[in-house]
Amino acid sequence: MDATIDQTPPFQASGSTQPLCTSLTEQPSTCFRTTQSGYETNFATAQNFSTLAAQTRYIPRHFPEGYVQTYHLTVQQQLMKDTTLEVSYVGAHALHIPVLGDFNQASVEPASCDQGIGCLTQQARRPITNFTNILTAFPSGYLDYNSLQAKLEHRYSNGVLLLNSFTWSKAINNASADLETNGGDSANINVFNPAGDRGVSGYDQPLNDTLTIIADLPFGHGRLYGQSAPAWQQAVLGGWQISAINSVTSVSVRPEPC
């Protein structure tokens, strides 16, 4: 979470110098400040700092610890000799997960603005009008995960193992982690209505199926071939396996933003 108090001025400040170029034909050496020139005079002084030209970061004083509850119920049954089936329900529930939001989030435009009456700028609609965005970590994130998981395993007498794992799941949250906005999800919430951001998670993968085949190669001691070979050849050739893995996954279909 990058919304840490050490990134707030005067502990830390960042900025950039404005280019002086007015056309693409100008030489960069003549219209950009060179590294050798160093920073501008009083670049990082308090007098040159403005809350209207900066993004402030803030963490609330009271921040409850996030927690995750996981639970599962599994039933395993032997279907026939050397064949087992395992079916499970696996779920998770998380609360107070840190998510980002704008503590100084602007209110919506009044309804009359549709007719061009009473329209205000975003800055005028902010609660603290002399600050812009105040990036804040809120303990308002949550996650719900439910899944049906099945595993079929069969061992053949010739040393071949077949294993198939299948998962059908649903993941729901109101925001992703900072810098982990998978699938077009957002790490920011509407601070006025965090529950309104509830929806299918960017990490949601409804269907997952993995088929694994592992086979013992028939060479070496106790195998079909090579038993009459010298012991050192049996040791070199024996004990090897070959495997093949095929994974198929789906992605959740999420509506495009308007």
What residue type is 237 in one-letter code? L
Does residue 175 contact residue 185 with C-beta atoms inside 8 Å?
A: yes
Tokens of 192: 């006025």
Tokens of 16: 């950039």
pLDDT tens digits, residue range 223-233?
Answer: 666 666 667 66
Distance CA 171, CA 207 (A): 12
- Say how far apart CA 58 and CA 212 lie, in whole Å: 49
What is the mean pLDDT for each group of 10 consecutive residues in the chain (258 residues)? 51 55 63 69 71 82 91 94 95 93 89 83 90 89 95 90 96 83 76 89 91 84 64 70 92 56
Domain chopping of the chain, boundaries: 1-49, 50-249
Q: What is the pLDDT of residue 208?
A: 96
Task: Write down the pLDDT at residue 3.
Answer: 46
How far apart CA 45 and CA 10 sit, in angstroms, is 9
Cα gap 8→129, rounded to integer Å: 18
Please tell me the distance from the alpha carbon of residue 18 to that of residue 26, in angstroms, as a whole number.
15
In order, the DSSP letters of 177-228 are PTT--GGG--SB--TT-GGGG-EE-TT---EEEEEEEEEE-SBSTTSSB-TT
With tokens 């997960």, the residue in question is 97
Q: What are the structure tokens assigned to 160, written together?
A: 């071949």
Residue 119 and residue 107: Cα distance in Å, rounded?
A: 12
